[in-house]
Structure 1
Amino acid sequence: MSNGSTLPRRALGRQLRKLRERAGLTQSAASRVAEISPQSYGRIEDGRVTKVMDLGLNALANVYNASDSERRLLLDLAQEIRASSPSGSGWWRAYDDAIAKGFDHYLALEEAANWVTSWQTAVVPGLLQTREYRRALTWATVPDSSPDETERILDVVMRRQDLLQRDDFRFEALLTEAVLGYGVGGSAVMEGQIKHLIERSEDSSVEIRIVPSEQDIPYGLNAGSFVLFSFPPLPTSKLQEPPVAYMEGLSGGLYMERASEVDKYSQEAQRIRHVALSASASRDLMLQVAKEQ
């Protein structure tokens, strides 16, 4: 895995929290058992980067009265963490200067996912943007960036799109028709962007569906734009990592992992699919809009 162990770390944290709470112990008590600081133990349960030793996990399994299968799962997840990314980094570490604070977590989720659904009401999602379209957006959102800084930001966006070449990756873009109508960068840039969407829609890994403006039922509009990440089972433990929902705002992104929260976005995505045009009808609409540019 190239995701810097994001998924197995989160899975290990959830499993330890479940066992600890079942045993009725505090994090401070658990940290003493594992012979690490309370802060370090807290980071483990939060799924953050912290050294995880089998000796400490076995000690915790003992005091938690874990079953053999529960102990094996803890050790398997720890092994996944060690094997997944020895350097603890992803390709985006080379672009730290061009990535907004906290966005590295988004990139790790995107890289680890095998299915991403993006519902966008105003802009083309990053995985489908042309360089010129993204440049216009960047000039508007980061007006003080130098030309070199802007190009670095664009390099990150283009590098992310390598995901679309992966055999095990599927990207579903659900867009309002308004996304095609905004004049980002001018008519020439929009014409190029829409033609790019049409080309990408022919890829087996990409599905683009448009919700027409005349749609009577405004599914998705109240929810705002969001992204859903779904993941394959972890290779060793076979644990199925639950999906994650993401919403972006001016002050930063919001990640939702609770099943009750994610289910709301999954259900909203399903409602949006019901009112969206088919992939072929969406392609016809994009061809029509491109001719009008």
Structure 2
Amino acid sequence: MVGSTIPKRAFGRFLRGLREHVGASLLTASLQIDTSKQTVVRLEDGLPTKITTPQLKSLLDLYEVSPEVRFEALEMWQEVRQQDKAAKLQGTYKGWWQAYADQYASHFDHYLRLEATSNHWISHQLVHVPGLLQTAEYRRNIIRAAHPNLAESDIERRLELAARRQERSAEPGFRMDAILSEAVLRHRLGGPSVMAAQLRYLAQIGTRDNVSIRVVPFSSDSHAGHGILSFTLLEFPPLSCHLKEPPCVYIDGAEGALYLESDRVIERFRTAISSLQRVALSENDTRALMSDIAKEYAA
């Protein structure tokens, strides 16, 4: 977890809960510690701030926490600080992906940090094969379609980034579940030969113990997935006895992205996943379908 913002996010959510429990506004909290309202927002969002331990203790005074909660909060704070120090010493405070920061939208940095620290990745896709499962040529054609004038050197760097991300699939303890609309297999992105190779790759990687790929066929009955767009749900391992990080739903868009983590929203997406899994083909039947369509492309 070194270099991750996950402990900060978990701690920030904890502090936000304390503030909201007593009905204190962001302005009240910021005045209490003589800082800006935006600094308190950043603290609660798990982003870097220059908040000190005395300032944190002052916030806990404002929130009128019990001695037990105060002790727990300060222990969590020390864990966050120690994690920051370890990251700086190891030179990993910034993620490896930031070497490619000129090749992706600014909002995607946060997703990459979440992806790198998750232990379970569930992706529902309506149009494209998800990034962690794309072949290089399939990815190349997605890039060219979105950026027809992009220099070849930039395309290669984006492919390098994709390849680095895909190394996660071989890491112990990391699980991938992909639920794909049959349309994903039918869109001829890059032409028949590119699609045939992509589908053969999906059929092969789907045999791994930690990878599940299932297709929702066109013939399926109505289900909750019809009312929801493409998304990725990320789950995280326990951080410590104090810090627990909730799941996060990521929805990418043409002009930005959404990061959703409220319990109500997460439950709605879990319900959609269960509904999709009920109508999706089995893993074996999915591989058979992909193999058949790959043969059609190769013919």
TM-score by length of 2: 0.90
Alignment of 1:74 with 2:73, yes or no, is: yes
Q: After superposition, give the CA deviation of every residue in 1:233-265 in whole Å (9 maximum; x if it has no partner).
A: 11352x332211121221111121121122111
Q: How big is the shift at 1:131? A: 0.5
The partner residue of 1:234 within 235, 239, 242 is 239
The partner residue of 2:152 within 114, 125, 147 is 147
Alignment of 1:269 with 2:270, yes or no, is: no
Deviates more, 1:213-222 or 1:99-108: 213-222
Residue number in structure 2 paired with 1:288? 292
Equivalent AA in structure 2 for residue 251 of structure 1: E
Equivalent AA in structure 2 for residue 74 of structure 1: A
2-side partners of 1:76 and 1:110: how far apart?
26
Q: After TM superposition, list the pairs within 5 Å mapping 1:50-129 onto structure 2.
A: 50-82=49-81, 83=83, 85-86=87-88, 88-129=93-134
For the residue of structure 1 that corresponds to 2:226, the secondary structure is: coil
Alignment of 1:130 with 2:135, yes or no, is: yes
Residue identity (%)? 41
Deviates more, 1:75-84 or 1:106-115: 75-84
Q: How big is the shift at 1:219? A: 4.1
Q: 1:146 to 1:21 in 2, by over 3 A?
A: same
Equivalent AA in structure 2 for residue 278 of structure 1: S
Q: How big is the shift at 1:196? A: 0.9
1-side partners of 2:166 and 2:226: how far apart?
26
Q: 1:5 to 1:71 in 2, by over 3 A?
A: farther
Deviates more, 1:89-98 or 1:62-71: 62-71
Equivalent AA in structure 2 for residue 171 of structure 1: M
2-side partners of 1:69 and 1:281: how far apart?
54
- Contact 2:214–2:283 (8 Å) recurs in 1: yes
For the residue of structure 2 that corresponds to 1:221, the secondary structure is: helix
Equivalent AA in structure 1 for residue 163 of structure 2: M
1-side partners of 2:149 and 2:74: how far apart?
48
- Contact 2:10–2:244 (8 Å) recurs in 1: no
Equivalent AA in structure 2 for residue 249 of structure 1: G
Q: 1:165 to 1:273 in 2, by over 3 A?
A: same
- Contact 1:233–1:240 (8 Å) recurs in 2: yes
- Contact 1:80–1:236 (8 Å) recurs in 2: no
2-side partners of 1:63 and 1:23: how far apart?
9
Q: How big is the shift at 1:35? A: 4.3
Residue number in structure 2 paired with 1:196? 201
- Contact 1:52–1:78 (8 Å) recurs in 2: no
2-side partners of 1:118 and 1:166: how far apart?
18
Residue number in structure 2 paired with 1:28? 27
The partner residue of 2:221 within 186, 193, 216 is 216
Q: 1:185 to 1:53 in 2, by over 3 A?
A: same
1-side partners of 2:221 and 2:30: how far apart?
56
Residue number in structure 2 paired with 1:254? 258
Q: After superposition, give the CA deviation of every residue in 1:172-229 in whole Å (9 maximum; x if it has no partner).
A: 0001112111111111111111111111111111100111121132542331211111
Q: How big is the shift at 1:14? A: 1.8
Q: RMSD of aligned C-alpha atoms? A: 1.8
- Contact 2:8–2:47 (8 Å) recurs in 1: yes
TM-score by length of 1: 0.92
Q: How big is the shift at 1:58? A: 2.2
Equivalent AA in structure 1 for residue 266 of structure 2: V
Residue number in structure 2 paired with 1:14? 13
Residue number in structure 2 paired with 1:157? 162
2-side partners of 1:73 and 1:11: how far apart?
13
User: How many residues are aligned here?
Assistant: 291
Q: 1:247 to 1:144 in 2, by over 3 A?
A: same
Equivalent AA in structure 2 for residue 272 of structure 1: L
